[in-house]
Structure 1
Amino acid sequence: MNSPNADQVVAAPTYLADIRFFFRPEDVEHMAAKGIELGTYDGVRSNALSIHAQTAPPNSQMPPDAEGKWSPERSQTFRNWIINGFPLGTAMPVEPPTEGKPPTRLRKDVTTLSAAEFDLLTAAFTGLMARDPEAPDSYFALAGQHGLPKRWCLHHEDRYNPWHRQYLLVFEDALRTVPGCEGVTLPYWDITTELPDRLQNPPFDQYVLPADPGSAATPNPVTGFFPYTTQRYSPADIAQNVTDFGVLADIATSLNQSLWGAFDVNGYQDFSIQAHDGGHGSIGRTMGNQNVAAFDPVFWFFHCNLDRLWLSWQTRVGATTLTGFRSTLGQNTDWLTAPFNALPPFSATADQTIESGISYDRLELVGVAEGVLENLSGSIDAVRSFSFRSVHPVSVRVKGIDRLSIPGSFVVNLLADGEPVAKRYFFQPDDPRSCATCTQHGVVNIDFRLTQKELFDRTLSVRIDVPGQSEEIGTSFPLARAGNLTINARLLVQDA
């Protein structure tokens, strides 16, 4: 992680564009052992005066090695940051490294696979699906780790992306155990394009469950999913749903974030999780239900693309190393350290997934010449100057949704003058109270970003639909039963 301004005096430096690059992994590790955090904005800000005193030339005490000593220019830049009030700022797009360890595996767009590569993938899926469902490396058992019967998956929390990255690796390793398929890699489906023909034919079009996934569910068995064949919408309907649920908009917003953030708060994670949920709801009844979503073969190609997007964001902001990633987090870093970094049932931990050996044939990158990323928020420290502009979107948050009272995945509709202007899909099992992760995050928010023109001088309202409800009672869910809902609308600001 190198700053282009490391040895030039920057008059108005910010943490995200400049200061975070001043600390090497060994610096962060060395000082962490002494109880001093150099890897995050909050840690550097709270220790800024001491850092400046210890690193200022010519008689600096830290770093202890000659190679790590700060130049007078770097020291002055850090001093300017302190004088200016510790601005967080926004990240500059980072040029991808031209050197480094070669990837252990290269995943490709499923539409670009050669005939031989696609035949190999077909053989791997077919072989995995043919295994005894009781075998731990069968398709049935592996898909059952996400929803029924194991319910291991972590959604709507910090470990969501790491868990799915490891899940994909475990599944890919299982594909490689099929005889003759030792070199296969899992491709991705770029959801900005229509569902490929290759995924509409066996063995990728559907999966017939060979056993009851709900009979072994704990703490209580689940009925209604056996016999069961996965179901999917038509490619045209999927494409329309992707647009209607704002999936592409949330992907674009997520990739443009300076910070990792947190679900229900802001940053990459919030919008990437919303895009994930919307994608699930767009694809079909099976993918829209957490209990059985992973049994649909398209699940793996969809999630492989989400992992590609996460790696794209990591590369954009210089977060492909653990040190670089931590610098985008802010306060909450506990989930990267034991025991909070666990990704059950896998032995790998969340921090171990950050520096992935997996790469992709294409990342969604942005050049330095195209300008800074964004760090828009609803509030900012009063000691910092800020701006909001007419081009900035309005954030509308439907806040305080009691997801545990809603039977299954649901859709939050934002209406203006009675007409839908936006909607978002929230992905969860039919009985969220039986899901341990769901109960830990029982109250959630849904975020919309709309232009000021779409909202001003219009009457806004909200409706919640539950597509899985019976036709007899209708899909509309009473707002009074969905918790103490409030609507929070605000203009977004950023560091001036």
Structure 2
Amino acid sequence: MSATLRVRRSIQDLQDEYNNGNKKPLEDVMRAWKGIKELPPDDPRSFFVLGGYHGEPFRGAGWGNSQYWGGYCNHGNILFPTWHRVYLVKLEEALRSIPGCADVTLPFWDETSTASTTNGIPSALTQKDFVLDGQTIPNPLRSFVFPRGIVDHLSPIPDADYSKPEGYETVRYPLSGLVGTDADKAATAAHNAQFPNYDTNVGLLNDNVRNWLSETVIVDGKPVGGGHVKDKYTACLNAPNYTVFSNTTSAAQWFDDHGQRIVPIESPHNSIHLAVGGFDLPKIFDASPIDGANGDMGENDTAGLDPIFFFHHCFVDRVFWLWQKKNGFTDKLEIIPQYPGTNSVDSQGPTPGTAANSWLTLESPLDPFKLTERGKERPYTSQDCINIETQLGYTYGPGSLDPHALLAAAASAAGSGRTISVRGLNRARIRGSFLISAFANVDGQRQHIGTEAVLSRWHVDGCANCQTHIEGRAAISTQSLGVAAARITADDIEVQVRTRDGLLGSGPQTRAMASLTAAPGKKPFKVELR
């Protein structure tokens, strides 16, 4: 390894060093984050600008144009890992531009570590205050106060607005940050009044994250599976090619074509967004769920404006690099031409700078990020960021999911059990992100088999191109049931779609939910056991 490589370390390691007396590494990270958050909102290095590239405030052709997704982020297509990789580099460059922070690197939240599965989110990302240079300051990593308001210009639905005002502070589970209309403000105020204690709220957040990471299924009184998100991260290391590793759209098509369930890196990534942003993992009996939580990490529109987004994506990028090393793709990536997930309108609309209905390749621009070569600027492409060490000058320090130690575990996690296929769900009128969960009646007991998190935008119907790729799908393995999986039939399966407006097809419904409800006696989606 070159001595010149900058090393991205686990935030837990920095936190442990701090507690053992070596305070400078974590203090420098805090100082850098404080610095970019305090830059003027027009400064290209400011957190407001960088965080806003992901979704709101909508830029470029995305502003008010329903032909475009809005923000620059890529989801549901092959550019998902590479676009976010360059995004992290640009954020890291901004951190290093702050005086005294030239050696700072972006740490990763090691989400599958024992510390995370036991304790939840590292406290450096959640503690209320931090002592820096002898002064107690608000922890720069726990939230962000908007220096300007953001306006949702893409809302065609009356009384449904995702705008947020100047001075708004980002929130996480169990709180709500939905404040776009008077009705939303009132509902959010009433909801948040139930959770007045910051430390108690952090405890609820950590409980929720632990559940998402390590839920265990009990059959015959014994744990037989689980590790919901942790197992997904492990399983994605076995994806056979970059196309299906990279995104949910391609992986869903691979299942149709080959009958092989592949876990793409985008799947566990989505789950953590929703765990932090506002969905608790469905319980076997739905005991005491916290409804009404609408944290910023849970929607594409504002996810990038919560600092934890970048520590989460740093881990996702690390898993991407581990997959590359494990499978021999450190210097090249291969794309299946014209496969689902390789078009600019797959799952979301095209991003600004990308023409509608165009084929995506490793040469597609990763707007808005620019690379300077021989004194000239050009857009980054995926070809510029395949090898993080030789092309981008960084690598990752120790952490969980080491590919050499986990080859056998990865193979086991991929599994060969049957799969519950859910398809035909019309997501056009679902506000924001949602969950597709599968349950089974196993020997007279209802068991939660698994949940697929769908990270979406608050107004999918504000994107015209999204309407042509509107199907919500999931492929949920029965492997978590162990040997009991062989005993279940299609009649034992129950699928539940949980949205911001409640369970699909049950209870009081908003107009949006009512539009999804099928005719009496007919399910609003198709379920198969394959």
Instruction: Tell whether the structures are fold-level matches, with TM greater than 0.5.
Output: yes
Report the equivalent of 1:248: 230
- Structure 1: any 5+ residue segments left out of the alignment? 1-98, 378-390, 491-496
Question: Hey, what's the Cα distance between the residues in 1 that align with 2:306 and 2:144?
Answer: 6
Secondary structure class of the residue paired with 2:253: coil
Shift of 1:405: 2.5
Question: Aligned pairs, how many?
Answer: 372
Shift of 1:239: 1.5
Deviations 1:105-139 (A, max 9, x none): 21000111242111111111001011111222211
Question: Hey, what's the Cα distance between the residues in 2 that align with 1:198 and 1:105?
Answer: 21
Report the equivalent of 1:344: 367
Secondary structure class of the residue paired with 2:296: coil
Pair 407,155 (structure 1): closer, same or farther in 2 beyond 3 Å: same
Question: Hey, what's the Cα distance between the residues in 1 that align with 2:487 and 2:513?
Answer: 26
Secondary structure class of the residue paired with 2:230: helix
Question: Hey, what's the Cα distance between the residues in 1 that align with 2:52 and 2:95?
Answer: 16
Shift of 1:167: 0.5
Give yes or no for contact 2:274–2:455 (8 Å, CA) kept in 1: yes
Give the TM-score of the pair, scaled to structure 2.
0.63
2:164 corresponds, among 201, 208, 225, to 225
1:236 corresponds, among 202, 207, 220, to 207
Give yes or no for contact 2:440–2:488 (8 Å, CA) kept in 1: no
2:146 corresponds, among 204, 209, 219, to 209
Report the equivalent of 1:110: 11
Report the equivalent of 1:152: 72
Pair 371,291 (structure 1): closer, same or farther in 2 beyond 3 Å: closer
Q: Which moved more, 1:226-235 or 1:175-184?
A: 226-235
Pair 112,369 (structure 1): closer, same or farther in 2 beyond 3 Å: closer
Report the equivalent of 1:141: 49
Matches for 1:442-457 after TM superposition, within 5 Å? 442-451=470-479, 453-454=484-485, 456-457=487-488
2:493 corresponds, among 451, 460, 463, to 460
Pair 140,439 (structure 1): closer, same or farther in 2 beyond 3 Å: farther
Shift of 1:280: 0.3
Query: What letter is aligned with 2:478?
Result: L
Report the equivalent of 2:360: 335
Pair 187,354 (structure 1): closer, same or farther in 2 beyond 3 Å: same
Pair 440,116 (structure 1): closer, same or farther in 2 beyond 3 Å: farther
Query: What letter is aligned with 1:279?
Result: I
Deviations 1:216-254 (A, max 9, x none): x56989544225221123212221233459211211110
Pair 483,415 (structure 1): closer, same or farther in 2 beyond 3 Å: closer
Report the equivalent of 1:275: 268
Deviations 1:400-429 (A, max 9, x none): 332223111001121223653322211011
Pair 413,167 (structure 1): closer, same or farther in 2 beyond 3 Å: same
2:251 corresponds, among 258, 263, 268, to 263
Report the equivalent of 2:432: 408
Shift of 1:392: 2.1
1:433 corresponds, among 461, 465, 469, to 461
Shift of 1:462: 1.4
Question: Hey, what's the Cα distance between the residues in 1 that align with 2:89 and 2:261?
Answer: 22
Matched, 1:200 2:126: yes
Pair 412,372 (structure 1): closer, same or farther in 2 beyond 3 Å: closer
Report the equivalent of 1:20: none
Question: Hey, what's the Cα distance between the residues in 2 that align with 1:483 and 1:158?
Answer: 32
Report the equivalent of 1:31: none
Report the equivalent of 1:59: none
Q: CA RMSD in A?
A: 3.4
Q: Which moved more, 1:403-412 or 1:159-168?
A: 403-412
Shift of 1:476: 7.8
Shift of 1:158: 0.7
Pair 241,374 (structure 1): closer, same or farther in 2 beyond 3 Å: closer
Give the TM-score of the pair, scaled to structure 1.
0.67
Deviations 1:462-492 (A, max 9, x none): 12111356996489885539996322322xx
Pair 124,461 (structure 1): closer, same or farther in 2 beyond 3 Å: same
Question: Hey, what's the Cα distance between the residues in 2 that align with 1:485 and 1:122?
Answer: 47
Question: Hey, what's the Cα distance between the residues in 2 that align with 1:351 and 1:148?
Answer: 27
